[in-house]
Amino acid sequence: MQRNNKTIFLDRDGVLIADPIGNYIMSPADLKLLPGVIEGVRLLHWAGFRLIMISNQAGIGDGVYKFEALEKVTGKLCNIFSEHGVRFDGIYYCLHGKLEACGCRKPRTGLFWKAAGDFAIDRRNSYFIGDKISDVEAGKEFGVRVIMLRTGHGRLEEKLITTMRPDHLADTFMEAVQVILGGRVS
Ligand SMILES: [Mg+2]
Ligand SMILES: [Zn+2]
């Protein structure tokens, strides 16, 4: 088994970058990294985790903004990370509209299985970091540990947690990294 079959799945909006709640990130100018994200992602990368981003972008399927705009945002995000020596091994978007019955819009697990078709994934040693209940549901259903952040939608959505609970609730991205690395972060 390859060393990096342990994988960190990362939601994008509200986890890596600020979520303009009620709106979409439609241009690179709207992209704001959240505190500690660069450092945290680098630590996960150095610890041997594969990094895979999983994000719903229904604004495409619903006609709110165009795929080219999403590509520009993705390009800028990747550039920022690569300037810090990190790249994502995979980026998977659901582009379907909210009302389309696709199998990949979280809480459904299609994007995770797509990634699992592209990479061998050691689910028992993998995590999903998200900010919504739908992230928790998707991650638990796929069979990885889930850390829910109180950034993005997290502070509102944590009040709605019922049966499907995250393995951990963290205030910040760096706290999630500390949980994953077992406190080996100073
Ligand atoms: Mg999110
Ligand atoms: Zn979809």
Domain boundaries, the chain: 3-180
Residue 62 bears catalytic tag: no
Query: Can you read off the two tokens belonging to residue 32?
Result: 């704001």
Cβ burial 139-168 (10 Å sphere, 16+ → b, else e): bbebebbbbbbbbbbbeebbeeeeeeebeb
Alpha helices in 2-101 (DSSP H): 37-46, 58-61, 67-83
Question: Is residue 186 over pLDDT 50?
Answer: no
Q: How many helices (H) and strands (E) does the chain have?
A: 7, 6
Please give the distance, rounded to the nearest whole angstrom, from the Cα atom of residue 117 to the centre of ligand 2.
16
What average pLDDT does the structure give for the chain? 94
Are the C-beta atoms of residues 19 and 153 closer than 8 Å to each other?
Answer: yes
CATH tag, 3-180: 3.40.50.1000
> First and final CA of the chain: distance in angstroms?
30
Q: What is the pLDDT at residue 3?
A: 55
Residues in the chain: 186
Q: Average pLDDT in the 31-55 region?
A: 97
Ligand nearest to the CA of 57: 2
Among the ranges given (61-70, 155-164, 167-176), the one the predictor scored with the smallest mean pLDDT: 155-164
Active site residue 13: yes
Over the range 80-99, which residues count as b (16 or more CB within 10 Å of their CB) and which as e?
bbeeeebebbbbbbbbbeee
The arithmetic mean of pLDDT across residues 18-42, rounded, is 95
Model confidence at 144: pLDDT above 50: yes
Q: Which ligand is nearest to the CA of 106?
A: 2
Band of residue 98 on the pLDDT scale cut at 50, 70, 90 = very high
